[in-house]
């Protein structure tokens, strides 16, 4: 029998509904998996903290089931990235500056899932404030890849991907500013959805780049993502950028006819810098589309080449402003032995932030400073508008954009940590969808010749998450991976 911790959320839901197991048994299984892993000579370090009160919550869920008052997702556990707040729990964004911060409220998405019956299992590790692609820039140390513990799980939601891939949680929330859900999903061999900007409320997500940030979902199947989305999405009065979309009908996913779909394969994501093993996986996904009657065109969309450059101006610019609030006065940690207020600010920030976060603050302040604003920030904003228009044009002709998720397979821990440019370049295929506000899904498609997980990315028009998930489910079902 497939072990509990290897099951998808939907399989677990069925087992709970049929009373084939208790919630306590289930939650224990994940906590035990976590404890067992801690004894490994190289622990995964996917969780920063597991919540012991999840057992009590599981007991309550079991009682509700006995009473016949179980809610739709009663007793199903999930993990939460450390930059999404949960009432009464710490949230640190893996940063020294927020050490000790305890949240007085829950993020809307967390609240909606908890109101539907789900149980938060713990907080997952990440790159500090979401800045990174390898889950190494964390005060809690790096997370390891469950497939090979000497490799990165990807970042910044590396902890979320690692706990799902290793059976320490059935599903997890991550966040995306420029690939932080999709990259780790692809490196760990799970599904990762970055929804359209506005699909999920950002209320309770610690801001990094507010015009790009979005909660994402990591899971073992597209159906599991659809199930979560159906409860978590929808307008939120606390977040004016949330959209009045309705995903309540997206689960269960419908059968999708692949025939007649129009798919674009941009040459920009198949050329130089793309690992040949990954390229081959993208091409075989294109073959699967064709075999099932879709039209697949290969064509150039030149502006896609600019995405990563625009991103690394806009994201740091927004971050430099968003992170100004961590000055030791209101949140988290404060350095106390200082002569005056100015010194308190300086020491708190100098000691609290890690080196990558500081680099982003420097870049952000530079591109926003007078004399450079027009050349960098303003120019990046203009090119972003052009990119959005080009993407709109693509979707007036096509249903989907197909590409690699990452240009490379998971790399060794330590390999790129001192080479920021190399690290930034791992984001070349993902950032365009954040800039264009569209949804994208990383689909696990097996491994390279060397046995390393590969993710293929499907991007769709804004609010077409349903299409991405349905297509992926058809692919998943055929076991073509
Ligand atoms: N690698 C990107 C960055 O460092 C990813 C960020 C993200 O999506 N949170 O900015």
Assign domain 2-250 to its CATH superfamily: Amidase signature (AS) domain (3.90.1300.10)
Per residue in 80-137, pLDDT (tens digit) is 999 999 999 999 999 999 999 999 999 999 999 999 999 999 999 999 999 999 999 9
Closest atom of ligand 1 relative to the 133 alpha carbon: 1
pLDDT band for position 46 (cuts 50, 70, 90)? very high
Q: Rounded to whole angstroms, how far apart are CA atoms 219 and 223?
A: 9
Q: How many angstroms is it from 133 CA to the middle of ligand 1?
A: 6
Two structure tokens written together for 317:
């610019």
pLDDT digits (tens, 9 = 90+) for 291-349: 999 999 999 999 999 999 999 999 999 999 999 999 999 888 899 999 999 999 999 99
State residue 479's pLDDT score.
Answer: 65
Contacts of 225 (CB under 8 A, 6+ apart): 171, 191, 193, 217, 219, 441, 469
**Of the residues 81, 192, 312, 315, which should be mutated to test ligand 1's pocket, given the most ligand atoms within 8 Å of the CB?**
315
Would you say residue 481 has pLDDT above 70?
no
Please name the residue whose Cα sits nearest to atom 10 of ligand 1: 131
The partner residues of 444 in beta bridges, in order of sequence, read: 455
The DSSP code sequence of 295-334 is: EEEEE--GGGGGHHHHHHHHHHHHHHHHGGG-SSSSSS--
pLDDT tens column, 402-434: 999 999 999 999 999 999 999 999 999 999 999
Residues paired with residue 219 on neighbouring β-strands, in sequence order: 171, 191
Helix (H, G, I), strand (E, B) or coil at 71: coil
CA of 169 to the centre of ligand 1 (A): 23
Summary count for the chain: helices (H), strands (E): 15, 11
Mean per-residue pLDDT of the chain:
97
Domain boundaries, the chain: 2-250
- Among protein residues, the one whose CA lies closest to atom 5 of ligand 1: 178
Q: State the catalytic residues.
A: 81, 156, 180
Whether residue 58 contacts residue 51, with contact meaning beta carbons closer than 8 Å, is answered with no
CA of 116 to the centre of ligand 1 (A): 30
Q: What's the CA gap between 165 and 18, in Å, rounded?
A: 25
* Residue 73, φ and ψ in degrees, nearest 5: -110, 30
Atom of ligand 1 nearest to the CA of 177: 8
The DSSP H or E segment spanning 50 is: strand 47-50
Over 50: is that where the pLDDT of 26 sits?
Answer: yes
Residues with CB under 6 A from ligand 1: 130-133, 156, 175-180, 208, 315, 427
Structure tokens, 480? 């073509």
* Measured distance between the N- and C-terminal CA atoms of the chain, rounded to whole angstroms: 22
DSSP label at 120?
A: E
29 Cα to the center of ligand 1, angstroms: 32
């Amino acid at each position: 029998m497939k072990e509990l911790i290897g099951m998808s959320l939907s399989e677990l839901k069925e087992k709970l509904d049929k009373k084939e197991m208790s919630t306590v048994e289930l939650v224990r299984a994940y906590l035990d998996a976590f404890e067992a892993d801690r004894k490994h000579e190289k622990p995964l370090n996917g969780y920063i903290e597991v919540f012991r009160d999840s057992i009590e919550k599981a007991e309550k869920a079991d009682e509700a089931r006995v009473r016949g008052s179980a809610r739709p997702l009663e007793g199903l556990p999930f993990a939460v990235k450390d930059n999404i707040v949960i009432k009464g729990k710490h949230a640190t964004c893996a940063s020294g500056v927020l050490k000790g911060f305890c949240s007085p409220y829950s993020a809307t998405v967390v609240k909606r899932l908890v109101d539907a019956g789900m149980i938060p299992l713990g907080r997952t590790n990440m790159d500090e404030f979401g800045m990174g692609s390898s889950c190494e820039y964390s005060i809690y140390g790096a997370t390891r890849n469950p497939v090979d513990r000497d490799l990165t799980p990807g970042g910044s939601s590396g902890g979320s991907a690692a706990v799902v891939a290793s059976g320490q949680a059935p599903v997890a929330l991550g966040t995306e500013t420029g690939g932080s859900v999709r990259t780790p999903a692809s490196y760990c061999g799970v599904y990762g959805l970055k929804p359209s900007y506005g699909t999920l409320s950002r209320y309770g997500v610690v801001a990094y780049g507010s015009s790009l940030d979005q909660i994402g979902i990591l899971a073992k199947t597209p159906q599991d993502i659809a199930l979560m989305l159906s409860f978590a999405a929808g307008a939120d009065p606390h977040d004016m950028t949330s959209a009045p979309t309705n995903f309540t009908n997206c689960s269960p996913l419908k059968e999708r006819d692949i025939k007649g779909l129009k798919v674009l394969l941009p040459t920009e994501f198949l050329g130089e810098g793309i690992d040949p093993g990954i390229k081959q996986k993208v091409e075989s996904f294109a073959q699967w589309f064709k075999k099932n009657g879709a039209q697949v065109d290969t064509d150039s969309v030149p502006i896609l080449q600019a995405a990563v450059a625009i991103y690394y101006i806009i994201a740091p610019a927004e971050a430099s402003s968003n992170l100004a609030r961590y000055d030791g006065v209101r949140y988290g940690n404060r350095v106390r032995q200082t002569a005056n207020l100015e010194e308190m600010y300086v020491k708190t920030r100098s000691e609290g932030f890690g080196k990558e976060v500081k680099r982003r603050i420097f870049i952000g302040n530079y591109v926003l400073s007078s004399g450079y604003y027009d050349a960098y920030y303003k120019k990046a904003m203009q090119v972003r508008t052009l990119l959005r228009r080009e993407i709109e044009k693509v979707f007036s002709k096509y249903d989907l954009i197909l590409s690699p998720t990452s240009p490379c397979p998971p790399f060794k821990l330590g390999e790129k940590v001192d080479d920021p440019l190399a690290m930034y370049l791992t984001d070349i295929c993902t950032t365009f969808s954040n800039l264009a506000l569209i949804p994208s899904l990383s689909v696990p498609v097996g491994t390279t010749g060397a046995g390393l997980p590969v993710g293929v990315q499907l991007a769709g028009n804004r609010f077409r998450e349903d299409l991405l998930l349905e297509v992926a489910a058809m692919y998943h079902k055929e076991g073509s991976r």
